[in-house]
Amino acid sequence: MHRTFIALALASAAITPAFGQADVIGSGVSPSAAAHSQTRPISFSATVPTSGALVIMMRNSTLPTDIVDMTTAQALNAAIAAAKFEGKEGTSLSLRGIGSYARIVLTGTGEEGDRVTNIRNASGKAAQDLRDESQPVSITGGLNQDEAAAAALGYAMGQYRFDRYKTVDRKTPPTNPVLIVSNDAQGADSLWKSRHSALAEGVSLSRDLTNEPANVIYPETFVERVRAAFGNTANVKIEVLDEPMMRKLGMGTLVGVGQGSRRPSRLMLVEYRGGADGAPLAMVGKGITFDSGGTSLKPGAGMWEMKADMSGAANIMGAVLSLAKSKAQVNVIGVAALSENMPGGNAQRPGDVVRTMSGKTIEILNTDAEGRLVMADANEYVIANKKPGALVNMATLTGSIVGALNDEYAGLFSRDDRLAAAVVAAGTATGEEVWRMPLHKNYLDDMKSDIADIKNVVEGGGPGAGLGATFVGFFVDKAVPWAHLDIAGVNWADKAGPVTPKGASGWGVQLLDALARNWR
Ligand code: BES
Ligand code: MN
Ligand code: ZN
């Protein structure tokens, strides 16, 4: 009683009490309270401005007609010829002081592939090329409603920035508006406001969660950030299980992986009911907020990248945010299996046996194969409690998938051809491509444990990504269509891509958004 009184008095005087130190996890000093620098607001117009910085989308070397005046067109055609500019995807030609414009950037879309995707990508590249442009920016090139909205999405994704920790010489890039020109400016504007802007928000949420260091994002703060992002969005229900609740339910893998950390595990469920009938699509993501490997400690070089080991969960929350904010007529449940894998004194040891909430037992031969462990309890929980019509997993599960597919594709594992086809289609449509990998029945034999139902690794490795997927599938009711995406190769951009500045890519938000809209 007396002690509480003193603590309260000191807290209200904003003094950290010395005897309260035992309650502080980490240093207790947050690295920043700042926000990222502002980005350009996006709007639409039916007419092409006659000044500022103009981006023209080019399919080939032919300038689209009726965009600029005759003398400007002549100068541009001379520049196109002199530079041998062919409008190829990923190329651009930047010119200064042409006609009444301070700058004209010809940006190639190419002619092959999906036009809308090409325009999204070219616009994302333009956003990165024009990051420091102080002039107002406009984008044109005969864009119809869908293309203009895609250009807005690409621009929003391309101009994403994560700079809130820069305090020395932080250059604040210009925040002049970007104007997208379309013959259906109103239609594009309403498509952007009602749908694509929500998708951009979902991608930003995922990237923010993933780029944040692990001293800032851990299970509890992941939950807080996601709650804040949803605010009071309609038809959304959030449930969070803490450790005592999970222990009571016998969720030995989720609590077990977190037991070596001072940061307690969480299971977060975000349910969005968009009015459709039928069972929800469940999406379960790996949310390891830092993967040190645990007792089976990882080598030091590159270990920092394991702050991104929660990107599966982040992408899923981003996709649910997009669906909910755009009022999509779908029912989805996003689940984040949140733990920090650390080698503390109470950490799991190789050889430990744990059990999941269904009672299945696991011999842990390597504590670094922790993603599959947390996925087991999370999948069992959502199947038992939410009766989903289908289940999609997304996880940075194995280094093995990086060796197989690098960052060109995510690995798709599925026991259900119809669901697999829908995932492939969503990947193709969004440019987040997947490649289907095998789940041979021998893999499960290989994973038999001598003393438990299953072991979490096969010594000597073998087909690592397939073994990991097989392990996860062992805990999924065979009656539920199930697909697992191993995103270890695509979740982080070592160098910038068209719509992906360096860092967390948010890969999968668009795919899951498309899948949920088309799956039934
Ligand atoms: N989070 C890693 C997988 C990973 C590796 C993601 C590289 C991104 C980049 C995962 O938890 C892990 O450590 N997997 C092990 C499994 C092994 C012990 C069977 C791996 O891939 O080495
Ligand atoms: Mn690991
Ligand atoms: Zn991991």
Q: Which atom of ligand 1 is nearest to the CA of 306?
A: 1
> Amino acid letter at 202?
G
Question: For 165, how many CA atoms within 13 A lie in the half-sphere containing its CB?
Answer: 8
3-state SS class at 316: helix
**pLDDT exceeding 90 applies to what percent of the chain?**
93
Is the pLDDT assigned to residue 9 strictly greater than 90? no
pLDDT tier, 20 (very low <50, low <70, confident <90, very high otherwise): low
Mean pLDDT for the stretch of residues 384-406: 98
Q: Measure the CA–CA gap between 145 and 250, rounded to whole angstroms.
A: 52
What's residue 463's pLDDT?
Answer: 97
Question: Which ligand does the CA of 293 lie closest to?
Answer: 2
What's residue 1's pLDDT?
Answer: 41
What's residue 357's pLDDT?
Answer: 98
Please say whether the beta carbons of 411 and 486 come within 8 A.
yes
Is the pLDDT assigned to residue 13 strictly greater than 50? no
Q: Is 182 in the pocket of ligand 1 (CB under 6 A)?
A: no
Q: Is 399 in the pocket of ligand 1 (CB under 6 A)?
A: yes
Give pLDDT tens digits for 368-382: 999 999 999 999 999
Residue 519: which of 364, 371, 341, 391 has the closest Cα? 391
Q: Is 411 in the pocket of ligand 1 (CB under 6 A)?
A: no
Q: Is 407 in the pocket of ligand 1 (CB under 6 A)?
A: no
3-state SS class at 248: helix
Q: Measure the CA–CA gap between 192 and 42, rounded to whole angstroms.
A: 9
Is the pLDDT assigned to residue 22 strictly greater than 90? no
Mean pLDDT of the chain: 95
What's residue 109's pLDDT?
Answer: 98
> Amino acid letter at 235?
N
Of how many residues is the chain composed?
A: 520
Of 372, 386, 455, 517, the catalytic one is 372
Q: What is the pTM of this model?
A: 0.95
Consecutive H or E run containing 427: helix 417-430
* Nearest CA owner, ligand 1 atom 13: 368
Most ligand 1 atoms within 8 A of CB, residue of 296, 311, 398, 402 to mutate: 398
Please say whether the beta carbons of 494 and 502 come within 8 A.
yes
> The tokens of 356 are what?
């999941």
Can 84 be counted among the known catalytic residues? no
Give pLDDT tens digits for 190-229: 999 999 999 999 999 999 999 999 999 999 999 999 999 9
Please say whether the beta carbons of 482 and 390 come within 8 A.
yes
Mean pLDDT for the stretch of residues 254-280: 96
Q: Is 400 in the pocket of ligand 1 (CB under 6 A)?
A: yes
Give pLDDT tens digits for 82-122: 999 999 999 999 999 999 999 999 999 999 999 999 999 99
pLDDT tier, 275 (very low <50, low <70, confident <90, very high otherwise): confident
- CB within 8 Å of 63: residues ≥ 6 apart: 56, 73, 76, 77, 80
Can 298 be counted among the known catalytic residues? yes
What's residue 18's pLDDT?
Answer: 56
> Amino acid letter at 271?
E
What's residue 172's pLDDT?
Answer: 85
CA dihedral 315, 265, 309, 428 (to 10 degrees): -30
> The tokens of 348 are what?
């799991």
Task: Find tokens 């029912």 and name the residue.
Answer: 331
Of 88, 298, 415, 436, the catalytic one is 298
Is the pLDDT assigned to residue 10 strictly greater than 90? no
Question: Which ligand does the CA of 294 lie closest to?
Answer: 2
The region of weakest confidence among 148-152, 169-173, 393-397 is 169-173
Is the pLDDT assigned to residue 233 strictly greater than 50? yes
Is the pLDDT assigned to residue 19 strictly greater than 90? no
Provide the residues around ligand 3 (an ion) whose CB is within 5 A: 288, 291, 309, 371
CA dihedral 62, 65, 71, 77 (to 10 degrees): 0
Most ligand 1 atoms within 8 A of CB, residue of 297, 303, 368, 494 to mutate: 368
What's residue 39's pLDDT?
Answer: 96
Q: Measure the CA–CA gap between 224 and 239, rounded to whole angstroms.
A: 12
Q: Which three-class secondary structure string do you get for 7-60?
A: HHHHHHCCCCCHHHHHHCCCCCCCCCCCCCCCCCCEEEECCCCCCCEEEEEECC
Q: Which atom of ligand 1 is nearest to the CA of 309?
A: 1
What's residue 277's pLDDT?
Answer: 85
Q: Output the CA angle 275-276-282, nearest 5 degrees.
A: 105
pLDDT tier, 389 (very low <50, low <70, confident <90, very high otherwise): very high
> The tokens of 36 are what?
């990222």
CA of 67 to the centre of ligand 3 (A): 51
Question: Which ligand does the CA of 457 lie closest to?
Answer: 1
3-state SS class at 315: helix
Q: Is 94 in the pocket of ligand 1 (CB under 6 A)?
A: no
pLDDT tier, 152 (very low <50, low <70, confident <90, very high otherwise): very high
Task: Quote the distance between the C-alpha of residue 475 and its chain's center.
Answer: 25
Q: Is 398 in the pocket of ligand 1 (CB under 6 A)?
A: yes
Task: Calculate the alpha carbon distances from 113 to 50, 89, 152, 263, 372 in Å.
Answer: 31, 10, 19, 46, 36
Task: Find tokens 């197989």 and name the residue.
Answer: 404
CA of 501 to the centre of ligand 3 (A): 23
CA of 162 to the centre of ligand 2 (A): 26
CA of 457 to the centre of ligand 1 (A): 11
pLDDT tier, 276 (very low <50, low <70, confident <90, very high otherwise): confident
Q: Measure the CA–CA gap between 285 and 509, rounded to whole angstroms.
A: 12
Task: Find tokens 């592939």 and name the residue.
Answer: 113
Please say whether the beta carbons of 124 and 157 come within 8 A.
yes
Q: Measure the CA–CA gap between 466 and 292, rounded to whole angstroms.
A: 22
